[in-house]
Amino acid sequence: MSKCKTIYFDYTLVLIYSIVSQKSFSITPWSFEDHFIWTQLLHLVAFVFIPLRFYKKAGVSPHQVYRYAFGFLIVHAVSQFISSLFLMPTCSFWYGLRWYFLLEAPSLFLLTSLSLFLIQHCSRRRYIYLWLICFVTFFGLFIVYDLLETPTLFFFHPSIGYYPGPLYDHWIPIPRSLIFASLWSVVAGIFFYMWTRKRQIGFLGFILLLPLLIRSTLGLHQTHQTVQSALPSHYTTQFTQVFSDQALRSSQLQSMDYYIQRISKTIALPLPTNPIKIYIYSDPRQKKRLTGTHLTMIGNPRQRSLHILDFSTWDLLFVHELTHALSSPLRQNILSMPLNPLLTEGLAMYTQKYMGPYNLQQWGKAIVRFRKQTTLANIDQISFYRQPPLHAYGLAGAWIDYLIQTYGIDRYKKYYGGQPFSNVYPSPQHEVEKQWFAWMDQAVLTEEIYNTMLSSLERKSVFEVKCPHEIAHALYKIEQCHDEQPCKGYWEAYAKGCSENYTIPKGYQKPIIKPLGTLLATDIDHYTALQKNKHYIDIAKQYEKIDDFASALTYVEKAMAIVPSEVLAIQRDRLSFLLDGSAKKNPVQTKSPQL
């Protein structure tokens, strides 16, 4: 009876912890995040509870240990039902159920089998803990290496499970490699169970390690070589190596060199001696499969590489990600960047200068007006990721813009490099923060401008959106339906069931600009100033596509005459760079696109 009480105490303790933590962290029942966190919690079962309850206990059979361990999966299910009934609604029971079989069950079976093996072969309990830690760490070292040295931002670990890449990329696919990884964990669990009964099969354990040697072939991670082979068009410029799944124009490649020179000058860095590797994808699903990122653009400082969707010479998001790669010499640590996103994203926003037609000072003032209690602490360290992206990036950019404009780039480089704020700047941070608010308040922000910003300001944080992964899954299924209305209707209803007020988005779409002839023939006398400005910019973009840089430059100057802006000044300088032959080294195509 006392043994049963002990076991029920363990279950009750974990149940209470699960419900309280779920409420505290606002984790939706049956969501991927919930299952991933629970998979980590199951290590507590293997590391603590099983050795504590069953080590050197007479008459204990393996089946008792497995029943005890898998009882925690039932505890998890109970906690989910309680949470969904009384705390927060469930997004999709069936979507969440799959993660029991792909994450928790394989991990728990492996950890239980390993604990059972160690219980019977270790002379002291602390050796059990040590070997369990060594097991998790051994496979973890491969993951750390892959994350640091390869394009991969997803990982598979036999006990930790599957991490799909940045969770703010809503879509979480279930690739074949995940099925293999789950089966691999189960087979490893069977091996440890059999090894407990038959010691002579221990040599077969080396076979279980073979997937580590061919993990790229199995899709457990991707190397730079495998990604490059998937992108058939290869180019070399003065400062870059470019890998794309579509052919690029010479002016696009020369523009990359222009931006590298401009950014290097802006943040007072020498031009790169080794090429920046730029990977360009037209299909976000291919990008997700190869890198673990779907719609998120990546600038990797350590690897000096970029992974972006498409490439537009007018898109300053490219400048943002390029800044991450170029700024790596400023911080000497294993990541070649500060851990505080306020510094890294703020610097990238500073070189980007604008979000849409408005500068960082205007966005900062608008955000402070929208969020009355805004402070720098809201975007410092981990708090950065809790904010809506526009708020976090806009304020970070405005903060760094103010620091560099006021105190210069050299001081900021010291701050970025790791020196404390108090050692770099002449005033305490709270005093500089007050001056920053006063500076933002000087920005021109009319009611008309603020109202155009409102729809963007009202967007929630990614982690505040209800059922993001389930809705992204529905969107993926809708795309697979093509024109089959019953199929599309089913998945649209599925998405609406997750969130009643949710509107099915159109997914990733390239911006569409009218043909040049249509634009030139359009009567714009009735257009507002902003509409005329956009119209001239569209004409400039179309002229650039046919390499008529002189005409493109003319229309940029017309746009600037209506609405002067630094972002247009950047495009004017870039077009002048292309027009006067400032690109000293012509791009060389090193591999032809496969037509």
Helix (H) or strand (E) holding 161: strand 161-163
Residue 110: per-residue pLDDT = 95
The region of weakest confidence among 92-101, 191-200, 242-251, 384-393 is: 191-200
Q: Residue 236 — φ and ψ, nearest 5°?
A: -130, 130
State the Cα angle at 592 between 586 and 593, rounded to 5°.
115
What's the pLDDT tens digit per position in 448-498? 889 989 888 888 776 667 788 888 888 888 888 877 888 888 888 888 777
Q: Which amino acid is it at 389?
A: P
476 neighbors 401 (Cβ within 8 angstroms) = no
CA distance 397 to 365: 12
Lowest mean pLDDT among 70-79, 127-136, 391-400, 494-503: 494-503
The token pair that represents 241 in the structure block: 């190596």
pLDDT for res 479: 81
How much is the pLDDT for 591?
61
Q: Which long-range contacts (CB under 8 A, 24 or more apart) does 405-409 make?
A: 406/435, 406/439, 409/266, 409/267, 409/268
Question: Using 50, 70 and 90 to split pLDDT, how confident is the model at 585?
Answer: low
Determine the average pLDDT of the residues in 120-130.
86
Burial of 381 (0-12, 13-18, 19+ CB in 10 A): exposed
In the chain, the amino acid numbered 351 is T
| Residue 345 three-state SS | helix
Average pLDDT over residues 504-523: 76
Give residues with Cβ within 8 angstroms of 309, minimum separation 6: 280, 281, 282, 284, 287, 295, 297, 508
How many helices, marked H, and strands, marked E, lie in the chain? 26, 10
Using DSSP, state whether 278 is helix, strand or coil. strand
Q: What is the mean pLDDT of residues 524-536?
A: 91
**Where do the DSSP E strands lie in 316-380?**
354-355, 358-359
Least confident of 128-132, 425-429, 587-591: 587-591
For residue range 7-64, list pLDDT tens digits in order: 778 888 888 888 887 777 777 888 888 899 999 988 988 888 888 888 877 677 888 8
- Mean per-residue pLDDT for 173-199? 90
Spans of all domains in the chain: 2-219, 339-442, 446-507, 516-591
User: What contacts 65, CB < 8 A, 6 or more positions away?
Assistant: 50, 54, 112, 115, 116, 119
Q: Give me the mean pLDDT over the 210-217 stretch.
A: 88
For position 434, what pLDDT does the model report?
A: 95
Say which amino acid occupies 501.
N
Report the mean per-residue pLDDT for the chain. 88
Give, as one character, the DSSP assignment of residue 103.
I
pLDDT of residue 252: 94
Residue range 238-256, pLDDT digits in tens: 999 999 999 999 999 999 9
Q: Which amino acid is at 271?
A: L
Instruction: Supply the pLDDT for residue 590.
Output: 67
pLDDT for the residue numbered 430? 93
Percent of the chain with pLDDT over 70: 93
In the numeric block, which tokens belong to residue 333? 């640590």
Pick the closest to residue 107 from 167, 34, 156 (CA basis): 156
Q: What is the DSSP letter of 590?
A: E
Residues 6 or more apart whose Cβ sits within 8 Å of residue 528? none
416: enclosing H helix or E strand: helix 409-416
Half-sphere exposure of 39 (CA within 13 A, CB side): 29
- Spatial contact of 42 and 76, defined as CB atoms under 8 Å apart: no
pLDDT number for residue 86: 78
Return the number of other C-beta atoms located less than 10 Å from residue 263's C-beta.
Answer: 22
Per the listing, tokens 């496979």 go with: 139
Note the pLDDT of residue 587.
63
What is the spatial distance between Cα 4 and Cα 551, in angstroms, rounded to a whole number? 83
Q: Are strands 240-244 and 276-281 parallel, antiparallel or unpaired?
A: parallel
| Percent of the chain with pLDDT strictly greater than 90 | 53
The b/e string for 456-489 (b: 16+ C-beta within 10 A; e otherwise) is bbeeeebbebbbbbbbbbbbbbbeeeeeeeeebe
Q: Which one, of 179, 182, 152, lies nearest residue 165 by Cα? A: 152
The helix or strand, by DSSP H or E, that contains position 505, with its residue range, turns out to be none
